[in-house]
Amino acid sequence: MSMSVGGPGGNMSEINVTPMIDILLVLLIIFMVIVPVTPKGLNALVPQPPKNPTQNNASDRTIVVQVLYRPGATPAYKINDTDVLRSDLLPKLTEVYANRAERIMFVKGDDNVNFSYIADVIDIGKSANVDHIGLMTPRIQAGQ
């Protein structure tokens, strides 16, 4: 942008935009480099095998709720190999986690069970104040 005042020997006023564009591009590059691009994912808990296989302490702390398939009927439920009715799941889990500092539960479902039953167990676990709920898959079980 230029402005001419007077004749050929008069004052000329121009704004030089090139340095401002250079500064803008340098700042843009700096901010692109500074901003970290870290992908956020879900925090998943996977049961780990015990470091010392002779210890049974880990099996005492681990709570696994199993959803077992029964053809033509609603599934059966177990808490650590103890049969439990669906209506008794919330009171039993509340009792189990009443005095625990570590509130972790794993849900294991049969292949033929509809996922809505497993989601129902997860909701019951959250109602029993369980902090972390993990899903057990056949691949995890094969590693144990």
3-state per-residue secondary structure call for the chain:
CEEECCCCCCCEEECCCHHHHHHHHHHHHHHHHHCCCCCCCCCCCCCCCCCCCCCCHHHHHCEEEEEECCCCCCCEEEECCEEECHHHHHHHHHHHCCCCCCCEEEEEECCCCCHHHHHHHHHHHHHCCCCEEEEECHHHHHHC
Task: Please report the pLDDT score of residue 92 as a whole number.
Answer: 92
Say if residue 96's pLDDT is above 60: yes
Residue 112 in any domain: the answer is: yes
User: Rounded mean pLDDT of the chain?
Assistant: 80
Task: Please report the pLDDT score of residue 52 as a whole number.
Answer: 66
* pLDDT class of 122 with cuts at 50, 70, 90: very high
Segments forming the whole domain that contains residue 18: 2-34
Residue 51 in any domain: the answer is: no
Question: Structural domain tally of the chain?
Answer: 2
Same domain, 68 and 106: yes
**144 or 120, higher pLDDT:** 120
Same domain, 17 and 68: no
Say if residue 58's pLDDT is above 50: no
